[in-house]
Amino acid sequence: MNILVANWTWYPSGGDWTYVENVTKLYREKGHQVIPFSMKDPRNFPSDYTEYFIEHIDYKKVNKKSLSDGLKVVKKSIFSTEAQQQLEKLLDTVKIDFAHINVIHHYITPAILKTLKDRGIPIIWTLHEYTPICPESTFISHGKICEKCFGGAFHHCVTNKCKKGSYPASVVAALENYVHKYLNYYAYVDHYVCPSVFLYEKFKSFNFFEEKLVQLYHGYDYEEIEAAKAQIAVASNERYIVFVGRLEKIKGVHTILAAMKDHPEIRLKVIGTGTQQAELIDFVAKNNLNNVEFMGKKNKKETLELIGSADFLICPSEWYEVLGFTVVEAMAMGKPVIGSKIGAIPEMVIDGHTGFLFEPGNYSQLSEKINELYNNKNLLLQMGANAEKHIRGLINTEKHFSGLQTLIPSL
């Protein structure tokens, strides 16, 4: 089969790409051909189909104070005629048996759904975010959980300036959702794949095409995990705990740093970059947290090896995590995880079994969990073993493929 895989990037760009890369490899291993459809970017992996990719869109322009800057992007970010035209050219060249949509909002746009449906091509869409029911995409408004747009009341995004605190960006985000709802693009999709029970229930509670929602955990290629484990020294005198992710408020790194003030004897390595980086570094300096090291961005191999040498990973998110491949990778490395009790994290971190849960933002509670786990070697080993067994059963490539086959019987 020829499978069209659409995603806003064709290079490593976060959790969405981790899934795209894994499912693309899976399709190819099963004997199918993958035809990518994405945005042009010098970071993209090589492809025979890049001539059909759309031009790069700088969506960040709508975050500027000038509304005119944002309006220049609106035409493309809400309804991409270019994406439709480029896809038409591609479909005239290659017969597509079905389309697998991933992250396309703001860039490729849902306008391509009608193009696919007009050609009679089945469509499945793996949901990596909440954009169809939340213009801000994360259910976060000014640092707090917000569900005011329930029932399609997207104007709340504008009145609250939810999108990065910017009026222009919020106007565009709300307008995008209103346009797509009015044009009923989402009805063209045959199945929406929900990577977690939490996301499934959230979309269901918002009355979003309940009959088309399918809960199916991601698959994961554990080959890199095994390679990283083989590289890790069996014995090491250095002990530390680790955070991996974007340095943004919704990721909760500030909560870890507050908790680390209670543990000057424990080293924390922070892997990643983001807009909050300077603020976090300043906090560390002002509080003399000499036990905290900012590692910056690392490649996949380096990240896995750093996780594999740590005692455990902390995932202190303060938003509705869809799944979280960082947690998957740590647990697959045989590491317990201390995670906040929000989103899909509790589906992976079973409190007291594969790690510990704490209330989001509660640094005192997190501090207690760090102390309990770090100072009990037997508990570390047992929870690590439990974590690896649990996650490899939950996030399983063959299970994922079998689930996809129920949606696309000819797969």
**What digits encode the pLDDT tens for the residues 361-386?**
999 999 999 999 999 999 999 999 99
- The pLDDT of residue 164: 85
Mean pLDDT, the chain, as a whole number? 92
Give, in degrees to the nearest 5, the angle at Cα 72 between 67 and 77: 105
Residue whose C-alpha is closest to residue 9's, from 36, 34, 38: 38
Give the SS3 label for residue 201: helix
CA pair distance 114, 126, nearest whole angstrom: 17
Average pLDDT over residues 98-108: 94
Structure confidence at residue 356 (pLDDT): 98
Specify the pLDDT at position 78: 81
Q: What is the total residue count of the chain?
A: 411
- Is the CA virtual torsion 310, 311, 316, 321 positive or negative? positive
Structure confidence by residue, pLDDT tens digits, 216-262: 999 999 998 999 888 886 546 789 999 999 999 999 999 999 999 99
pLDDT confidence of residue 236: 62
pLDDT of residue 137: 94
Closest CA relative to residue 325, chosen from 2, 14, 26, 100 = 14
Number of helices followed by number of strands (H, E) in the chain: 16, 14
Residue type, 241: I
Predicted pLDDT of residue 73: 64
pLDDT at 64 over 70: no
Q: For position 59, what pLDDT does the model report?
A: 55
- 147 CB contacts (<8 Å, ≥6 apart)? 134, 139
**Are the beta carbons of 138 and 129 closer than 8 angstroms?**
yes
Calpha distance 252→340 (Å, rounded): 9
Q: Count Cα atoms within 13 angstroms, Cβ side, for 183.
A: 17
Cα–Cα distance measured from residue 235 to residue 292, given in angstroms and rounded to the nearest whole number: 22
Predicted pLDDT at 168: 83
**Residue whose pair of structure tokens reads 């697998």 in the numeric block:** 100
- For tokens 């029932």, the residue is 151
3-state class (DSSP) for residue 6: strand
Mean pLDDT of 192-196: 98
What is the average pLDDT across 98-103? 97
CA dihedral 88, 92, 94, 97 (to 10 degrees): 70
> What is the SS3 string spanning 60-106?
HHHHCCCHHHHHHHHHHHHCCHHHHHHHHHHHHHCCCCEEEECCCCC
Taking only the tens place, the pLDDT of each residue in 315-363 is 999 999 999 899 999 999 999 999 999 999 999 999 999 999 999 999 9
Tokens of 100: 């697998």
Rounded to 5°, the CA angle 254-260-264 comes to 150
- pLDDT tens digit string along 273-312? 999 999 999 999 999 999 999 999 999 999 999 999 999 9
E strand or H helix at 339:
strand 337-340
Closest listed residue to residue 324, CA positions, set 309, 346, 305, 306: 346
* CB half-sphere exposure, 127, CA atoms < 13 A: 33
Q: What is the pLDDT of residue 379?
A: 97
Residue 394 · residue 217 · CB < 8 Å = yes
What's the pLDDT at 230?
86
- So what's the pLDDT on residue 66? 53
pTM exceeds 0.85, yes or no: yes
Alpha carbon distance 36, 347 (integer Å) = 31
214 strand-pairing partners:
193
Q: Which helix (H) or strand (E) holds 358?
A: strand 355-358
pLDDT of residue 75: 67
Residue range 136-184, pLDDT digits in tens: 999 999 989 999 999 999 999 999 999 988 888 898 899 999 999 999 9
Is a pLDDT exceeding 80 seen at residue 58? no
User: Cα separation of 218 and 195, whole Å?
Assistant: 6
